[in-house]
Amino acid sequence: MQVKSFKPMMIFNKLVSVVTDYLNAQYGLEIRESAVQFQPTRKEFEGDYTLVVFPLAAKVSKSPVSFAEELGEHMMVQSDYVEAYNVVKGFLNFSLSARFWKEILEWTGDVGVHFKQLDKKGRLVLEYSSPNTNKPLHLGHIRNILLGWAMYKIKQRCGYELIRTQIVNDRGVAICKSMWAWKNCSSGETPESSGIKGDHLIGKYYVIFDKKLKEEYLDWQKSREAEACLKERVGKDENAEAFFKRFKNDYFNEFSKIGKEVRDMLRKWEEGNTEVTALWEKMNSWVYDGFDETYEKLEVTFDKTYYESDTYKLGKKLVEEGLEKETFFQKEDGSIWVDLSDSGMDEKLLLRSDGTSVYMTQDIGTARVRYDDFQMDEMIYVVGNEQDYHFKVLFEILKRLGESYAEGLYHLSYGMVDLPDGRMKSREGNVVDADDLIEEVINTAAKNVEERGDMAHLSEENQKENIRRIAMGALKFHLLKVNPKKRMVFNPEESVDMQGHTGPYVQNAFVRIQSILGKTEEYPFELMEDYWKINEEERSLIQLMLSYGEVIVRAGEEQDPSHLANYLYHLARTFHRFYHEHRIINAESEAAAAFRYHLIKHVSAYFEDGMELLGISMPSRM
């Protein structure tokens, strides 16, 4: 085992080129190496890797079976590592030698080797949180944030330089509603005086506002004005009840007294009125303290926070510039639009007739501010799929404005999180609050730990930290194991599961290995030289470790951390089975013990590294 500089990827490439060279020499076929793919052989067949020969056989017009035989024979002769092969239909399965697996095992010791050959990529701005300041974070935000954090780690590993940002939506009517309610319906309570977390306090007044508005609306419905309005605007086949249900928003804008007060407040805010601005600043600061606490519990941080109250101004300016360049156009009422119909989209409003900005305006500004700050090459927005169209339009606009980073824009669009009884509706109080959820998983983990009693000898502080890691591991894994694009149904009971396809299952494999390593002596690597009968479970573990780099790269390129989560589960499953089948301490020979010692040591490093990329840390005991 003197091959310290040995690079296993080269074996793979060599095996591939044995095939491509042969096709070239014998048949004059130029085949790209990427077209020759070895996949792990399915369990029910003999062999380690499989080459699907059908497409190749078709190209040389031979029968798949005989051509597979031909290739297999050739590989046996050409490569020292190919020990045996068999052909089933058009599938060529080949087995690699013990020497191959031992050399791979040695190579896998340093997790970093998988990434050494990756090119340096550019600078990447990642936006992975975009909260509104009128209510606390909920389950949907958690999915968003955890996805973003995992992407940060994974992209970084793939060679990008990452800038983590959030955009705070701190302006607009919604915030004014909370402000109005606090001003009119509280006796000046603060987070300190009430003991309520700042973001929850604001949320409380947002709900109070909604209640007040509803009361006012109900009263109004009995008025003459309402009667007249109903008569005038009710639709055909519509009863009064249905009408009033749909009319609520128009009522707020046209008839509501408190609605008018809220809009006055917004106008004053935009004019820079000192009293309103002071209230706005005070209440926002409460919210930020609350958010920070939640972020801390989720173990995430940001390099830079942007506020829409800052960026919308630049957005306006860019829109006006776009108008001068005739990228945009103006309607008679003064509103500014972009016409994207030649790209299969619609006309889109960019600036209202009264000159105030809309959502799109802000996002144009925010993008440019970020470029001024960081000169990024690419940017990823982690935002729910309800905004797919918005981002499609935004990216097209930035392209037309000639922004240099416009070709590197991505919307990591994740599916909504539904509850078993349907969509979350904040209005109806049917939301899973982020802080509540975190508290709940920690309580559940604590209960489990207490029942087991495996941690009793640890210090209280130590126990608490382990419990926290297990709980967060369960929650995070549960959200990250499914494909981000898919809408997911979140069952609170399943999110605190700690058995089966879960985070704690992976953590358990890790903790188990640490426990074993603590009980055995260290073996020098050379001692495994005499171990030749590598069993199926051992081979599977090495094979999995060998594919780690591929998995991460794929997760990065597809912006899908679930590939990594499922890989780690698979690795843990394979380890647990191995553990039950084979002795590590007191193995059948010293060579076997040495081999397994290094094997599990390496495997545990992959657990720790992979989970870290998902934002999950390992407990010391569980």
Partner RNA sequence: GGCUUCGUAGCUUAACUGGAUAGAGCACUUGACUACGGAUCAGGAGGUUGCAGGUUCGAAUCCUGCCGAAGUCACCA
With contact defined as beta carbons under 8 Å apart, do 191 and 198 qualify? yes
Kindly provide the b/e burial profile for residues 496-532, where b requires at least 16 CB atoms within 10 angstroms of the residue's own CB. bbbeebbbbbbbbbbbbbbebeeebeebeeebbeebe
- By beta-carbon proximity to RNA, the closer residue of 366 and 374 is 366
- By beta-carbon proximity to RNA, the closer residue of 152 and 477 is 477
Q: State the nearest-atom distance from the C-beta of 189 to RNA, in Å.
A: 26
- By beta-carbon proximity to RNA, the closer residue of 195 and 344 is 344
Q: State the nearest-atom distance from the C-beta of 414 to RNA, in Å.
A: 11
Q: State the nearest-atom distance from the C-beta of 192 to RNA, in Å.
A: 28
Q: State the nearest-atom distance from the C-beta of 186 to RNA, in Å.
A: 24
- By beta-carbon proximity to RNA, the closer residue of 282 and 486 is 486
- State the Cα angle at 116 between 407 and 3, rounded to 5°: 155
Polymer length of the chain:
622
- By beta-carbon proximity to RNA, the closer residue of 319 and 498 is 498
Q: State the nearest-atom distance from the C-beta of 146 to RNA, in Å.
A: 15
* Cα→Cα distances 520→387, 607, 618, Å: 55, 20, 21
Q: State the nearest-atom distance from the C-beta of 458 to RNA, in Å.
A: 10
Residue 418 parent element (H or E): strand 417-419
The answer for 159, left when phi > 0, alpha when psi is -120 to 50, beta otherwise, is left
Q: State the nearest-atom distance from the C-beta of 404 to RNA, in Å.
A: 26
Q: State the nearest-atom distance from the C-beta of 449 to RNA, in Å.
A: 5
Of the candidates 246, 251, 241, 250, which has an alpha carbon nearest to the alpha carbon of residue 220? 251
Helix (H, G, I), strand (E, B) or coil at 384: strand
- By beta-carbon proximity to RNA, the closer residue of 123 and 485 is 485
Q: State the nearest-atom distance from the C-beta of 542 to RNA, in Å.
A: 16
CA distance 481 to 86: 36
- By beta-carbon proximity to RNA, the closer residue of 232 and 354 is 354
- By beta-carbon proximity to RNA, the closer residue of 226 and 592 is 592
- Contacts of 577 by beta carbon, 8 Å cutoff, 6+ apart: 537
CA distance 183 to 567: 53
Structure tokens at 127: 């936006």
- By beta-carbon proximity to RNA, the closer residue of 266 and 376 is 266
Residue with tokens 């909920």: 138
Q: State the nearest-atom distance from the C-beta of 581 to RNA, in Å.
A: 7
CA distance 613 to 222: 59
Beta strands 49-52 and 38-40 are antiparallel
**Alpha-carbon dihedral angle through residues 426, 428, 434, 439, given to the nearest 10 degrees:** 170
- By beta-carbon proximity to RNA, the closer residue of 173 and 207 is 173
Backbone angles phi, psi at 165, to 5 degrees: -135, 160
Structure tokens at 332: 């008679």
Type of residue at 487: R
CA distance 604 to 609: 9
Residue with tokens 């640490």: 514
- By beta-carbon proximity to RNA, the closer residue of 5 and 341 is 341
Beta strands 91-96 and 82-88 are antiparallel
DSSP string, 293-336: HHHHHHT---SEEEEHHHHHHHHHHHHHHHHHTTSSEE-TTS-E
- By beta-carbon proximity to RNA, the closer residue of 99 and 576 is 576
Q: State the nearest-atom distance from the C-beta of 393 to RNA, in Å.
A: 9
Helix (H, G, I), strand (E, B) or coil at 18: helix
Question: Helices then strands (H, E): number in the chain?
Answer: 23, 15
Q: State the nearest-atom distance from the C-beta of 172 to RNA, in Å.
A: 4
